[in-house]
Amino acid sequence: DTEVTQTPKHLVMGMTNKKSLKCEQHMGHRAMYWYKQKAKKPPELMFVYSYEKLSINESVPSRFSPECPNSSLLNLHLHALQPEDSALYLCASSQGDRDYNEQFFGPGTRLTVL
Protein backbone atom coordinates (compact mmCIF):
# COMPACT_ATOMS: atom_id res chain seq x y z
CA ASP A 1 0.00 0.00 0.00
CA THR A 2 1.70 3.19 -1.16
CA GLU A 3 -0.92 5.80 -0.59
CA VAL A 4 -2.14 8.30 1.94
CA THR A 5 -5.90 8.35 2.41
CA GLN A 6 -7.97 11.21 3.76
CA THR A 7 -11.57 11.35 4.89
CA PRO A 8 -13.91 12.97 4.27
CA LYS A 9 -13.29 14.28 0.75
CA HIS A 10 -15.58 17.23 1.33
CA LEU A 11 -16.79 18.84 4.56
CA VAL A 12 -19.16 21.73 5.11
CA MET A 13 -19.45 23.06 8.63
CA GLY A 14 -20.82 25.99 10.51
CA MET A 15 -18.72 28.20 12.72
CA THR A 16 -20.04 26.57 15.89
CA ASN A 17 -19.54 22.98 14.76
CA LYS A 18 -16.89 20.52 15.86
CA LYS A 19 -15.56 18.18 13.20
CA SER A 20 -12.48 16.10 12.52
CA LEU A 21 -10.38 15.31 9.49
CA LYS A 22 -8.72 11.92 9.27
CA CYS A 23 -5.54 10.81 7.54
CA GLU A 24 -4.17 7.30 7.30
CA GLN A 25 -1.09 5.64 5.82
CA HIS A 26 0.13 2.06 5.90
CA MET A 27 3.61 2.58 4.49
CA GLY A 28 5.32 2.39 7.86
CA HIS A 29 6.13 6.10 7.71
CA ARG A 30 7.08 7.74 11.00
CA ALA A 31 6.47 11.39 10.12
CA MET A 32 3.11 12.89 9.22
CA TYR A 33 2.12 16.40 8.21
CA TRP A 34 -0.88 18.69 7.87
CA TYR A 35 -0.90 21.39 5.21
CA LYS A 36 -3.46 24.04 4.36
CA GLN A 37 -3.88 25.13 0.76
CA LYS A 38 -5.98 28.11 -0.28
CA ALA A 39 -7.18 28.43 -3.85
CA LYS A 40 -4.43 29.23 -6.35
CA LYS A 41 -1.79 29.16 -3.61
CA PRO A 42 0.88 26.65 -2.61
CA PRO A 43 0.40 24.41 0.43
CA GLU A 44 1.42 25.88 3.76
CA LEU A 45 2.71 23.69 6.54
CA MET A 46 0.61 23.58 9.71
CA PHE A 47 1.88 20.69 11.84
CA VAL A 48 4.48 17.94 11.79
CA TYR A 49 4.42 14.75 13.86
CA SER A 50 7.61 12.75 14.15
CA TYR A 51 7.39 9.36 15.79
CA GLU A 52 3.93 10.25 17.08
CA LYS A 53 5.13 13.41 18.81
CA LEU A 54 4.29 16.92 17.67
CA SER A 55 7.56 18.36 16.43
CA ILE A 56 6.46 21.44 14.50
CA ASN A 57 3.49 23.78 15.01
CA GLU A 58 3.59 26.68 12.60
CA SER A 59 1.79 29.06 14.95
CA VAL A 60 -1.56 27.63 13.95
CA PRO A 61 -4.64 28.99 15.81
CA SER A 62 -5.88 26.79 18.63
CA ARG A 63 -9.17 26.16 16.82
CA PHE A 64 -7.11 23.57 14.91
CA SER A 65 -6.02 20.71 17.13
CA PRO A 66 -3.91 17.86 15.73
CA GLU A 67 -3.74 14.38 17.15
CA CYS A 68 -1.63 11.36 16.28
CA PRO A 69 -3.19 8.30 17.98
CA ASN A 70 -0.68 5.91 16.41
CA SER A 71 1.99 5.83 13.73
CA SER A 72 -0.53 5.22 10.93
CA LEU A 73 -3.19 7.73 11.83
CA LEU A 74 -3.34 11.51 11.99
CA ASN A 75 -6.38 13.57 12.90
CA LEU A 76 -7.12 17.27 12.74
CA HIS A 77 -9.87 18.39 15.11
CA LEU A 78 -11.73 21.52 14.11
CA HIS A 79 -13.72 23.79 16.40
CA ALA A 80 -15.14 27.29 16.07
CA LEU A 81 -13.65 27.82 12.63
CA GLN A 82 -13.94 30.99 10.60
CA PRO A 83 -14.99 31.32 6.96
CA GLU A 84 -11.39 32.19 6.07
CA ASP A 85 -10.41 28.69 7.19
CA SER A 86 -12.13 27.30 4.11
CA ALA A 87 -9.41 25.54 2.13
CA LEU A 88 -8.04 22.22 0.93
CA TYR A 89 -6.40 20.42 3.84
CA LEU A 90 -3.66 18.06 2.76
CA CYS A 91 -2.07 15.32 4.77
CA ALA A 92 1.36 13.92 3.94
CA SER A 93 3.69 11.31 5.33
CA SER A 94 7.38 10.51 5.02
CA GLN A 95 9.57 7.60 6.01
CA GLY A 96 11.43 9.57 8.63
CA ASP A 97 12.01 13.10 9.80
CA ARG A 98 15.08 13.86 7.70
CA ASP A 99 15.08 16.58 5.07
CA TYR A 100 15.74 14.05 2.32
CA ASN A 101 12.68 12.00 3.18
CA GLU A 102 10.21 12.73 0.41
CA GLN A 103 6.68 13.46 1.44
CA PHE A 104 3.73 11.53 0.03
CA PHE A 105 0.50 13.50 -0.12
CA GLY A 106 -3.10 12.44 0.23
CA PRO A 107 -5.88 13.77 -2.02
CA GLY A 108 -7.02 16.30 0.56
CA THR A 109 -10.23 17.30 2.31
CA ARG A 110 -12.07 20.26 0.82
CA LEU A 111 -13.38 22.23 3.81
CA THR A 112 -16.04 24.92 3.57
CA VAL A 113 -16.89 26.96 6.66
CA LEU A 114 -20.22 28.79 6.51
Partner 1 sequence: AQSVTQPDIHITVSEGASLELRCNYSYGATPYLFWYVQSPGQGLQLLLKYFSGDTLVQGIKGFEAEFKRSQSSFNLRKPSVHWSDAAEYFCAVVGGGAQKLVFGQGTRLTINP
> Residue numbers of the site for partner 1 (CB under 8 A)?
4, 6, 31, 40-43, 45, 48, 50, 55-56, 88, 90, 92, 97-100, 102-108, 110
Q: Which is nearer to partner 1, 13 or 88 (CB)?
A: 88
Nearer to partner 1, 84 or 99 (CB): 99
Smallest distance, Å, CB 5 to partner 1? 10
Shortest distance, position 16 Cβ to partner 1, whole Å = 27
Q: Identify whether the C-beta of residue 74 lies closer than 8 Å to the C-beta of residue 49.
A: yes
**Number of Cβ atoms within 10 Å of the Cβ of 103:** 18
Say how far apart CA 33 and CA 48 lie, in whole Å. 5
Partners of 114 in beta bridges: none
Residue closer to partner 1 by CB (options 16, 99) is: 99
Q: Mind giving me the DSSP string for 69-81? A: EETTEEEEEEES-
